[in-house]
Amino acid sequence: MKGLFFFFSPFSLMFLYLLCISFTAETEAGLRNGDGVYIVYMGSASSAANAYRAQILINTMFKRRANDIVHTYKHGFTGFAARLSAEEAKVIAKKTGVVSVFPDPNYQLHTTHSWDFLKYQTAVKIDSSPPSSPEAGSYDSIIGILDTGIWPESESFNDKDMGPIPSRWKGTCMEAKDFNSSNCNRKIIGARFYKSPDDDSEYFTTRDVIGHGTHTSSTAAGSAVENASYYGVASGTAKGGSPNARIAMYKVCNPGGCAGSSILAAFDDAIADGVDVLSLSLGAPSYAHIELNTDPIAIGAFHAVEQGILVVCSAGNDGPNGGTVVNIAPWIMTVAANTIDRDLESDVVLGGSKVIKGEGIHFGNVSKSPVYPLIHGKSAKSADASESSARTCDYGSLDQEKVKGKIVLCENFDGSSYASSARDEVKSKGGIGCIFVDDRTRAVASAYGTFPTTVIDSKEAAEIFSYVNSTKDPVATILPTVTVEKFTPAPSVAYFSSRGPSSITRSILKPDITAPGVAILAAWTGKDTSISLEGKPPSQFNVISGTSMAAPHVTAVASLIKSLHPTWSPSAIRSAIMTTATQTNNDKGLITTETGATATPYDTGSGELSTTASMQPGLVYETTAVDYLNFLCYYGYNISTIKTISKSVPANFTCPADSKLELISTVNYPSIGISGFKGSENKTVSRTVTNVGGDGVAVYKVSVETPAGFSIQVTPEKLQFTKDGEKLTYQVTVSAADDSLKKDVFGALTWSNAKYKVRSPIVISSETSTTN
């Protein structure tokens, strides 16, 4: 199923497939049939009138149906989730103070060497390292994670040498049959679970039965664990990016999915509990195109940001097609995924000792000499199979007599097949190993257990085909996996990573940033036999891939920035991360996509995360509450709805008379998106930056990367600050040589001095949104 890539066990892949199916089936069924769980969203919790109206609704409609109330929301925002008929939902939607009523959606889930790689992937030299001890940062940051739960016994969550829990923490450690208060400590300081409408009581616990939440938590804030590996692969010290941060787990996902009503309940609790950063590695599939006022993540994140909490979300795994990025509200920090400089290599050796480089994690016990007959899938097809299905080694397509004892070469020529499926078919027919040709997944190592399986690209495959076609009795073997460090080029954009532009507006660039999300080693549940090797105990660590793995990398850096700068707003932290990102790889070239083409901001956002430069950005773009209110105006919400949604509406605030999507370009965002551009007229937008360099007096000069056929003028060309905290505004005017813009184009502007470089990508589009 395209877009769902967490490369581990067959059980887990089936789980992810079912998540996607359940989103479609349950959400569409709710819309068609009407009856089911609905979310009633009533805006800001600071409004006494909203709270009163919500309680009146609950009292009048559910006086005799108390069990139909699933969740109530009262801390960060107001509303409830309840079982309703279609007619009841329509009636409630018309009530005063109700912003939206919508069926409860079921969302999908979207080290470790990656931190060592990031340490050296920065183009800016900084005076000091990021804080790595309690003394280095004056603020003890708390990371809230909405996910599948946590495995508290993992060594990644030991609290050795950690100080007392911050006194401002107001959360709890919910007890269950297999999780008690002693499972929390000075590392895991909070644990909550949520009873989804149709959950089995088996999942009424914060304990992780899937592994995903344990993996993301330890990536963000795991304590250092030496000699960690997945059965010897990717070995080293596993550590989180912010190892001194505290973890609060909010379990919103179970094998049945991630209920939107539970996600909202977790946001509501996290706001009251006192977290500093929220991390979500989940979201709707890209095809859903959910509106902001019916998206639980967008709603919850809006109110979290109002309370000073940065929200970091994965961009989704529906790449490489454009317009697939999700979690795209401008108050969310959206993270794409890239590779790192570690290759988990499993090579093919042909007769004559020719070596073909491949990728994959397997622990096959076969000869290292090329002694096994090699056959192409289409040459081994069964009598009733088509040549194309045998070529991809689809289920039931191969003849057992032709495959037995051989290594089979399979191809993903139609873009819809996977190595794990081909492996299963070859293995079931008595084959010795599987070589899978796939340009997409060549750079993404998946685990194949004890059956020798490797993935090669089409260029490497050409050499094998040449050998097979020129040799009477071709032979080969597949070597065990080895870990190759300093692999180049890296980073490159992961093929599965969802791409921009945003479906709601091209005036806000999404994704915002890219971070490591391929073959990430991190903690896992302690009893998952589905990833175990035969005769060996379950691994305490796992290597998986996805934008789910990228988001906690950014979360960790945000936590470190918060520790160093506790008074900074969520938008200042986001700006620090975006404007200090790098655009180059370890070959000193520009970051590329999985095809080798130069990546654009639709692939990487501002670039790859920097763990050092982001601590001292020099300047930040602060997106204010009024910016977000103006965004809602430009997006089409009226003033009465906006006042219901937000607690931050000034008494004299009104929507601009000419509110339209193109004006979203004027929101003070760290990137610059200019949409609805017609070459016959100039477009001017302004941005305001705040001096946070710490030196008081500072002078910055601008440089511009201008796309061909365009002119970009920045006024003024020099910013002169006299003190820290001072704000200065500049204008950017874009014009074109002619009036035709056939495709979106990209540029950038950078404010720099001897110490800092503050870069903003620029996107120019004739369109206003992906869907218009």
- Classified by CATH at the fold level, domain 10-107 comes out as Alpha-Beta Plaits (3.30.70)
Which of 71, 113, 212, 565 is flagged as catalytic?
212
Report the pLDDT averaged over residues 558-579: 97
- Token look-up 């097609």 returns 321
Q: Mind listing the pLDDT tens digit for each residue in 13-30?
A: 333 333 333 343 344 334
| Dist. CA 474–CA 468, nearest whole Å | 6
Strand (E) or helix (H) holding 669: none
Residue 767 near residue 673 (C-beta atoms within 8 A): no
Percent of the chain with pLDDT over 90: 79
Which of 154, 279, 497, 548 is flagged as catalytic?
548
Q: Mind listing the pLDDT tens digit for each residue in 154-178?
A: 999 999 999 999 999 999 999 999 9
CATH 3.40.50.200 correct for 110-341+492-609: yes
Which two tokens mark 430? Answer: 């008595």
Q: Mind listing the pLDDT tens digit for each residue in 468-527?
A: 999 999 999 999 999 998 899 999 999 999 999 999 999 999 999 999 999 999 999 999
E strands of 57-109, at which residues?
Answer: 69-73, 77-84, 100-103, 106-109
Q: So what's the pLDDT on residue 129?
A: 34
Which two tokens mark 402? Answer: 């032709």
Give the pairing type, strands 520-523 and 541-544: antiparallel
Residue 727 near residue 690 (C-beta atoms within 8 A): yes
Percent of the chain with pLDDT over 70: 91
| Dist. CA 546–CA 281, nearest whole Å | 9
Residue 167 or 54, more confident:
167
| Dist. CA 713–CA 730, nearest whole Å | 10
Q: What are the sequence ranges of the domains in the chain?
A: 10-107, 110-341+492-609, 343-483, 619-764
Q: So what's the pLDDT on residue 34?
A: 62
Q: So what's the pLDDT on residue 738?
A: 80
Pick from 224, 226, 219, 213: nearest CA to 118 = 219
Report the pLDDT averaged over residues 122-140: 43
Q: So what's the pLDDT on residue 33?
A: 47
Alpha helices, DSSP H only, in 62-125? 86-93, 113-120
Provide CB contacts within 8 A for 139, sequence distance 6+: 562, 563, 564, 566
Looking at residue 690, what DSSP letter applies? E
For the CA atoms of 468, 403, 430, 519, the dihedral, rounded to the nearest 10 degrees, stands at: 40
Residue 110 is a catalytic residue:
no
Q: Evaluate whether 110-341+492-609 and 619-764 have a shared fold.
A: no
Residue 424 or 256, more confident:
424
Residue 113 is a catalytic residue:
no
Q: So what's the pLDDT on residue 199?
A: 65
Lowest mean pLDDT among 54-68, 412-426, 441-455: 54-68
Report the pLDDT averaged over residues 379-390: 96
Pick the CATH number of 343-483 from 3.40.50.620, 3.30.70.920, 3.50.30.30, 3.40.309.10: 3.50.30.30
Lowest mean pLDDT among 105-109, 435-439, 725-729, 767-771: 767-771
Q: What single letter denotes the amino acid at residue 109?
A: L
Lowest mean pLDDT among 203-212, 528-537, 611-620: 528-537
Report the pLDDT averaged over residues 348-360: 96
Q: Mind listing the pLDDT tens digit for each residue in 720-754?
A: 999 999 999 999 999 998 877 889 999 999 999 99
Q: Mind listing the pLDDT tens digit for each residue in 426-473?
A: 999 999 999 999 998 898 999 999 999 999 999 999 999 999 999 999
Provide CB contacts within 8 A for 326, sequence distance 6+: 110, 283, 284, 285, 286, 288, 315, 316, 318, 498
Q: So what's the pLDDT on residue 118?
A: 55
Q: So what's the pLDDT on residue 604?
A: 98
pLDDT band at 46 (very low <50, low <70, confident <90, very high): confident
Q: So what's the pLDDT on residue 201?
A: 78
Strand (E) or helix (H) holding 578: helix 570-579
Q: Mind listing the pLDDT tens digit for each residue in 315-334?
A: 999 999 999 999 999 999 99
Across the chain, mean pLDDT equals 89
Provide CB contacts within 8 A for 426, sequence distance 6+: 393, 398, 403, 408, 410, 433, 434, 451
Residue 640 is a catalytic residue:
no
Report the pLDDT averaged over residues 70-85: 93
Provide CB contacts within 8 A for 360, sequence distance 6+: 344, 346, 419, 445, 446, 447, 448, 453, 454, 455, 481
Which of 147, 438, 439, 627 is flagged as catalytic?
147
Pick the CATH number of 619-764 from 3.10.290.10, 3.40.50.720, 1.10.4160.10, 2.60.40.2310: 2.60.40.2310
Report the pLDDT averaged over residues 370-384: 97
| Angstrom distances, CA of residue 393 to CA of 322, 403, 744 | 29, 11, 39
What is the layout of strands, in order, in the sheet containing 36-44? 69-73, 77-84, 36-44, 100-103
Pick from 218, 213, 211, 281: nearest CA to 11 = 211
